[in-house]
Chains A and B, each alone.
Chain A
Amino acid sequence: MINFKFVKWSIAAAVIAASGASQAQEITMATWGGGVGKAWREAFAEPFTKQTNIDVKIVEVPTPEAQVRAQKDAPKFNAALSSLFEASQMYADGLLEDFDMADFPALKDVPEKYLLKAPNGRLIGVSTYFAYYGIAVNTDLAPASAFSSWKDLADPKWAGKLSVTRPVYSSAYDLTIMSVAEGGSERDTDKGLALLSKVAKNSLAMYSSMAQMNQLLQRGEVTAAPYYSTRVWQMKREGLKNIEMVIPKEGALMLPYIVVVPKNAKGREAYMKWLNYVAQPEGQVRIADIAGYLPLNSKAELTPAAKEHLGQPLIALRDSLYQPDWNYIAENRKTRMEQVERAMAAAGS
C-alpha cells in the first residue's frame, strides 16, 4: 500500500530543494526602470545565460538602494545596480558584500579611480559603465553654445526656463559639478551652493523622474537642465533632433555605475560569475550601443555607430570628466541634502 503522506512530503521536499537550488543558480538583479532593465537584459543577461546556463532575472524598481535596504535581513536580490555614492553609503551601513580585486581579473583594465573601494581596500562591487552629467538643451529654444558654462544656467534670462532634479540627487551631482565650475570641489561647496541656488531660482520645475524630464525637454516646457548623457542619447536615438547634450567648459561629472551584492545574498558561485561577466568589455560595448552607457573597461572598442554618436574618442571623454570622491559625498549626504534643501527653499524668497 502506498504511503500517501510520505509521498506528499517527499514531493514537497523535492520542490523546496529544487527551488533552493534554482535560486542558488539564478541571478536576480535590481535595476532602475526607464529602459535600464531592458538594456541590461539585452546587453548582459541574455548573452550571460547563453554562455553559462545561469538564469538572470532583471527586476526594474524605482530605487535599487531602497530594495537593498528594505530587504536588509533577507535579501531577495543577489545583485543590484547602484551609483557610487549610494553604494558607498550602503556599504558603510553594512548592507553590501565586499570582494578581493583578485576575484575580478577584468578590473585591471578599469582605471583605479573608477573603482569603489572600502577603507580596508576591499572592493565594493564591480564598476561596469559610466554616464556623465552635463547640460541637456532643447536647441529649438536656445543654441547649445548658450550653455557653454555651468554659470550660464544662472543667467536671469533663463528665469522659468530651466529644471533641476530633487535634492537627493542635486546634492550629490549638481552641487559637486557646480562647485567645480566655481573653482571648488566636492569638499568646497560654498560657491557651488550659491550657483545651484541661482539655477534653482531660474527653474520652472523640479523633475522627479526621467520620464518627466524627457517630457519637459521634448515639449519645450524648459529650455535646458542639468541631465544625464544616457537620456539624451536615448532621445536622439528615438529620432529627436532638437535635444543636445553639452559638456560645459568646466567639465561634466563622471557617473560610474557599479553592480553590488547585498550582504548575505544567496548563490555566491552564480553572482561571482555574473560580476566577472559585467566587468568584461563585450557586454559594456553592447549596452553602449543600446542605451549610451559607456564602457569603463579600457579594452572595450565601441562600434562605429556608437563612435560616431560620441563624436570623440571614448578614453578622451572618460578622462576629461570630473570624478569626485564619492565616498566623501556619501559620508556627507545628509548635510549636503540639508544645504541644498535650504538653498532651494530660499531661492524662492
Chain B
Amino acid sequence: MTTSTKPPLILLIPPAILLVAFLTGIGYLVVESLRTDMGWGLGNFVDFFDRPDYVAVLIRTIVIALASTLLAGVIGYPIAYAIAQYKGNRNFLMMLVIMPWLVSVVVRTYGWIVILGPKGTLNSLLMSLGIIETPIRMIFNMTGVVIGLVHVFCPFFIVSVLSVLLYLDRGLNEASQTLSAGPIKTFLNITWPLSLPGVITGAILVYLLSTGAIVTPLLLGGVRDGMLATQIYQDVLQVFDYPKASSMAIILLLAAFSLIIPLQLLERRVAARVSGMGR
C-alpha cells in the first residue's frame, strides 16, 4: 500500500499570490511602457535604442553584472567550500558571512570610499611606502562598482553554494579516495559537479541583484559609470517619466532573462545528471 505524497493545495496559495503580484507588476510595466506622447506604441523603446548613451548604459550594466557574478564566484566558492569542510562551529562562520547584511548598504559602500578613495587608506599607505607617486583610481569607475557589488552580493553566492555542499554525501568523497583519487581529482570529479546547482543558483542571484543595483553604482561609480537601474531610479523619482522608466525596466528584465533562462536550463540538466536521471 502506498500513501499519497502530493502536498496539500493550500501550500500553493503563497506562491500563487507572489506570482499574481509579479505578473500584475509586469503587466503594468508593459502597459505603461507603451504609453507615448502620441498615443500607444513602441516609441519609448525606439527612443532608447536611438540613444547611443543609453545603449552604452545597457551594455555596461550587463558587463558589470557579469564581472560581479564571476568575481563573486571566484571569491565565494572557496569560502563556501572552506566552511563546508570546517569541523568546528560552522554557524559562527556563517554569521561572519552574513554579518555585513546587518549594516546598511550605504554605510558599507561609504566604507569603500574611505579605504579605496584617492585619499583613502590604501592609496595613502602605498604612497607613504613609495610604491606609487600619485593615487591609483580604484573607485569612481567600473572597478569600484564591481568591488562594491561583489562585497554586497557575495554572501548570496556563498549561502547558495554552501546549502548544496553541506548536503553532499561524504561517502562519495571517501569512495573516491578509497579508489586512490587524490583531493584535487576528488574535488574536480565529485564535489565540483555535485555543487554546480548551487553555483548556478548563486550566479543567477548575484547577476540579477547586480543588474538592479542602484546605491553602489551611484556612490562608487564615476560620472560615466551609471547603470540601467540608476537611470530608471532617476526617471521615476526625479524626472517622473514613468513610461520611459517602464520601457527601461522591460529592457532590463529582458537583459536579465537572456542570461537567466539559459542558466536555468543548464541548472536543470546538471541537476538531472547529478541525480542520475540525465543521459
Contacts and interface: CB of A to CB of B under 8 A. Distances in A.
B222 A334 contact: no
Interface stretch (B3-11, B237-245, B268-276): B237-245
A167 interface: yes
Contact of A215 (B110, B237, B238, B241): B110
Interface stretch (A127-135, A257-265, A303-311, A340-348): A340-348
A146 interface: no
Interface string A266-287: 0000000000000000000000
A89 to B, nearest CB: 9
Chain A: interface size category: 20 to 34
A345 B238 contact: no
Interface stretch (A19-27, A61-69, A245-253, A288-296): A61-69
A166 B238 contact: yes
Contact of A203 (B137, B223, B239): B223
Contacts of B51: 342
Interface string A187-224: 00000000000001001111010001001000111000
A74 interface: no
A184 interface: no
A287 B137 CA distance: 40
B56 interface: yes
A204 B110 CA distance: 15
Interface of B is mostly: loop
A221 B113 contact: yes
A204 B113 CA distance: 12
Contact of B234 (A166, A204, A333, A344): A166
B239 A200 contact: no
Interface string A60-95: 001101100100000000000000000000000000
A164 interface: yes
Interface in A153-207: 160, 164, 166-168, 200, 203-206
Given A221-B119, A345-B224, A348-B223, A66 B237 contact: yes
Nearest to A141: B119
Contacts of B240: 65-66, 69
Given A204-B118, A348-B223, A167 B53 contact: no
A205 B110 CA distance: 13
B122 interface: no
A219 B222 contact: no
Contacts of A65: 240
B241 A221 contact: no
B53 A164 contact: no
Contacts of B223: 164, 200, 203-206, 344, 347-348
B222 A215 contact: no
Interface in B24-68: 51-53, 56
A124 B41 CA distance: 35
Interface of A is mostly: helix
A149 B119 CA distance: 26
Contacts of B234: 166-168
A219 B117 contact: yes
A226 to B, nearest CB: 13
A215 B118 CA distance: 13
A341 B117 CA distance: 25
A345 B218 contact: no
A221 B118 contact: yes
B117 A221 contact: yes
B53 A345 contact: yes
Contact of B238 (A168, A203, A344): A168
A337 interface: yes
B224 A344 contact: yes
Nearest to B53: A345
B244 to A, nearest CB: 9
Interface string B140-164: 1000000000000000000000000
Contacts of B226: 206
A341 B226 CA distance: 11
Interface of B: 51-53, 56, 110, 113-114, 117-119, 137, 140, 218-219, 221-224, 226, 234, 237-241
26 contacts: A62-B237, A63-B237, A65-B240, A66-B237, A66-B238, A66-B240, A164-B223, A166-B238, A168-B238, A168-B239, A203-B222, A204-B223, A206-B221, A219-B117, A220-B119, A221-B117, A221-B119, A333-B239, A337-B239, A341-B53, A342-B53, A344-B224, A345-B53, A347-B224, A348-B223, A348-B224
Interface of A: 62-63, 65-66, 69, 160, 164, 166-168, 200, 203-206, 208, 212, 215, 219-221, 333-334, 337, 341-342, 344-348
Given A208-B219, A219-B119, 5 more contacts: A168-B234, A204-B223, A334-B239, A334-B241, A345-B52
